[in-house]
Structure 1
Amino acid sequence: MAWARRRSPRGWACRWRRSSATSPRRCCFAALPIDAVSGLTPSSAIPLSVREQAVTWLVELQSATADEDTHRRWRQWRDADPTHAQAWARVAAFGDTLQSLPPHIAQAALQAPSSAARRKALKTLALLIGVGGAGWLTAQTPWRAWSADHVTGVGERATLALEDGTEVQMNAGSALNVRYTAGARRLQLLRGEILVTTARDPQGRPFSVDTEQGNARALGTRYLVRQLADHSAVTVFEGAVELRPARAGQPRRIEAGQQASYSSVVVDPPQPADDAASAWVDGMLVAQDMPLPVFLEALDRYREGRLYCAPDAAHLTVSGTYPLADADRVLALLQTTLPVTVDHYTRYWTTVSLKKIEKK
């Protein structure tokens, strides 16, 4: 383990890094013509070599090994020349995945950096960006997470000390923007999970965390916020939090010792808080009758590749305390405590399924 500390305009960021192997990631381009985007410099005005560099950065930033240094070097490249920024705007508009491109191009783009197939694929993608009707744009914007102010990768946690004394702890696989202005203190959680301990602001500015589904405003608080696939969740340990859905839903106050999920239109009734929800801060995963798919999703943040729960095992629950530092050991332990089999189909795809009972 090694600690790295970097200076940002909003405070110090202390990062705990673990070494990890390179993991390929798929991405996809949704079907909107690139000509539909307004306000972008025509790709024909951007040299092909610069477009190739931008596409290379696109792939690098979504790699499982992308870290703060990767993002720092990307920002240096982007800011070094106006054409770099223009090329990145085109690439960023492309979206976050290569899924709807021909499979051989998507797969080759994710091969080793020295691979001839990868170089050819990246050049092909750069050419596609330059052809108006041949490109696609994604309707979603996960690419924003790659260029967020603070990003954690697989098995990586970070502690941020913000300018007002607020402390933010980031779980693995998280992305966060910090937006402090003269009138407000706002965090934008783009992905993952954070634990916030707010500080009293001499200027009296309100503090809140924005997710895709809405806003969680602190009322003298220590609280945890998660951005999930189709909703957000908050657990309050101290003080209170006001949850306000993004689309005109009624706000709801969540008190210490409570937790609640919310969509963009409604806040669910609060439930008793899970006191172990923040155990990841100490490198542990504590489960009490936790559904196996939820358990595997939490563990997946700490290992390379994809961890999948087969439908026949989805009804199982997990209880116990598990160290996040060795996810594969946890998977091995599951096979001794649950009737499951862990199958590693490739280095990057692992399935947990119900153990088959052999007939005698």
Structure 2
Amino acid sequence: MRIATTPSMAAEVGTAPRRAVFQPAGNAALDRAIVAQAVEWLVRLQSGAASAAERAACEQWRGAHPDHEKAWQRVRGLGADLRDGVHGLAPETARGALRGADAARRRWALKAFVLAASGGVGAWALRDDMAWWRADYRTATGEQRSVLLPDGTRVVLNTRSAIDVDFSAAERGIRLLGGEIMVSSGHDAAARPLVVHAGPGRVVPIGTRFLVRAPDGPATGEVVVLEGLVELSVAGREGTLRLPAGQGARYAADGISAPESSSENAAGWTQGVLVVERMRLDDFLAELGRYRPGVLRCDPAVGAILVSGAFPVARTDAVLDMLEETLPVRRRSLGPYWTTIAAR
């Protein structure tokens, strides 16, 4: 399959149904954009390099809106001012975020601060991030990686993805901790089954090539079969669903959805292209945001616009430029890592 790498798209205003996305329990008491600003101010002021002008600017920001001061106080209160560890984070991790010695670790720590302070995430999410850092194989934002396992199975990890590999006497196990992978199954001389575990889902391929997605957290996932056949089941539930090539299904702890038709376009990301057809703009931006650092959000007022086309995942800024040129939307940026697509 050949896909052009020049962005192309079509769009229309519609009322497409929202794709089911897992949401952690708990309601955010504060806008995460405001919390992110508070975290940035705190990091800047506690870095040891803040100027008097920056301290005055922070005071002005805090006084500009009551929610700014609430966010500031909440961030300040997480873990005794970052010196003794933050809300379950090790002290060295928190201090490392301020020093900025490891950019990837700093981004992770800041993300944890924002989520914990905004109240929209539980302790499970921080534990999952720790498991992510200990994963056998993982990719950073915008990175893709191909891994050849001892049995000849090839796993391609998409952006922000992580897996553990556990080959035992009983099975050749792969655990998807988050993100998305394409698996081309190899042959095992000992005839051990290849099993992909992803949250409650258990995927057993039968000489096949398939995708497993869990970008929204460990509680939900999706399987798309590109070649061959897979058997999908859910822990604690009876029954197994057989999916042939060209079909996919979503799953969660409460069961498996009805099979749906799929196409090779689902694997477009392995060629550096995000291919979508009549996808809601808010869902499209959520997917595109996985390929760029920071936060990319969509104003609900334009979320129902439908988008179709092929978009290069390595050129997300060019894709956003095209959205501005062809849709009734505009881009608003709050620093380099917070972008909102809103009505023009």
Superposed pair shares fold, TM > 0.5: yes
Does 2:168 match 1:181?
Answer: yes
What is the 5 A alignment of 1:126-165?
138-140=123-125, 141-143=127-129, 144-165=131-152
Aligned partner (choices 235, 238, 253) of residue 264 of structure 1: 253
| Cα distance, 1:340 vs structure 2 | 1.3
Does 2:155 match 1:171?
Answer: no
In structure 1, how many angstroms separate the alpha carbons of the residues matched to 2:304 and 2:140? 29
In structure 2, how many angstroms separate the alpha carbons of the residues matched to 1:269 and 1:227? 18
8 Å CA contact 1:145, 1:190 repeated in 2: yes
**TM-score, normalised via structure 1 length:** 0.63
Match of 1:10 in 2: none
Q: Which one-letter code corresponds to 1:195 in the other structure?
A: M
| Cα distance, 1:334 vs structure 2 | 0.9
Does 2:92 match 1:53?
Answer: yes
| Cα distance, 1:294 vs structure 2 | 2.1
In structure 1, how many angstroms separate the alpha carbons of the residues matched to 2:250 and 2:154? 23
8 Å CA contact 2:226, 2:263 repeated in 1: no
Moved runs in structure 1, 4+ residues, more than 2 A? 23-26, 51-61, 63-67, 96-103
8 Å CA contact 1:196, 1:222 repeated in 2: yes
When residues 214 and 52 of structure 1 are mapped into structure 2, their CA distance, relative to the original with a 3 A threshold, is: same
What is the 5 A alignment of 1:342-357?
342-355=331-344
Match of 2:311 in 1: 322
Does 2:209 match 1:217?
Answer: no
| Cα distance, 1:25 vs structure 2 | 12
Aligned partner (choices 292, 299, 302) of residue 313 of structure 1: 302
| Cα distance, 1:213 vs structure 2 | 2.5
| Cα distance, 1:139 vs structure 2 | 3.6
Q: Which one-letter code corresponds to 2:128 in the other structure?
A: P
Gaps of 5+ in 1: 1-22, 35-50, 68-90, 104-136, 356-360
In structure 1, how many angstroms separate the alpha carbons of the residues matched to 2:239 and 2:96? 42
Q: Which one-letter code corresponds to 1:170 in the other structure?
A: L
| Cα distance, 1:260 vs structure 2 | 0.6
| Cα distance, 1:248 vs structure 2 | 1.8
- How many residues align structurally? 254
Per the alignment, in what secondary structure is the counterpart of residue 278 of structure 1? helix
Q: Which one-letter code corresponds to 1:184 in the other structure?
A: E
| Cα distance, 1:337 vs structure 2 | 2.1
In structure 1, how many angstroms separate the alpha carbons of the residues matched to 2:103 and 2:251? 29
In structure 2, how many angstroms separate the alpha carbons of the residues matched to 1:58 and 1:246? 38
Q: Which one-letter code corresponds to 2:104 in the other structure?
A: T
In structure 1, how many angstroms separate the alpha carbons of the residues matched to 2:98 and 2:198? 25
CA displacement 1:183-221 (0-9 Å, x = unmatched)? 201111111000000011111010111111321111111
| Cα distance, 1:24 vs structure 2 | 10
Match of 1:279 in 2: 268
Identity over aligned residues, as a percent?
A: 34
**Relative contact order (alpha carbons < 8 A, sep ≥ 6): 1 or 2 greater?**
2
8 Å CA contact 2:96, 2:105 repeated in 1: no
Per the alignment, in what secondary structure is the counterpart of residue 174 of structure 2? strand
When residues 25 and 154 of structure 1 are mapped into structure 2, their CA distance, relative to the original with a 3 A threshold, is: farther
More divergent stretch after superposition (52-61 vs 140-149) = 52-61
Does 2:216 match 1:231?
Answer: no
Aligned partner (choices 192, 200, 207) of residue 205 of structure 1: 192
Q: Which one-letter code corresponds to 1:65 in the other structure?
A: A
Per the alignment, in what secondary structure is the counterpart of residue 123 of structure 2? coil
| Cα distance, 1:255 vs structure 2 | 1.0
In structure 2, how many angstroms separate the alpha carbons of the residues matched to 1:269 and 1:161? 32
Per the alignment, in what secondary structure is the counterpart of residue 216 of structure 1? strand
In structure 2, how many angstroms separate the alpha carbons of the residues matched to 1:60 and 1:187? 35
**TM-score, normalised via structure 2 length:** 0.66
| Cα distance, 1:146 vs structure 2 | 1.6
In structure 2, how many angstroms separate the alpha carbons of the residues matched to 1:258 and 1:101? 38
In structure 1, how many angstroms separate the alpha carbons of the residues matched to 2:184 and 2:283? 25
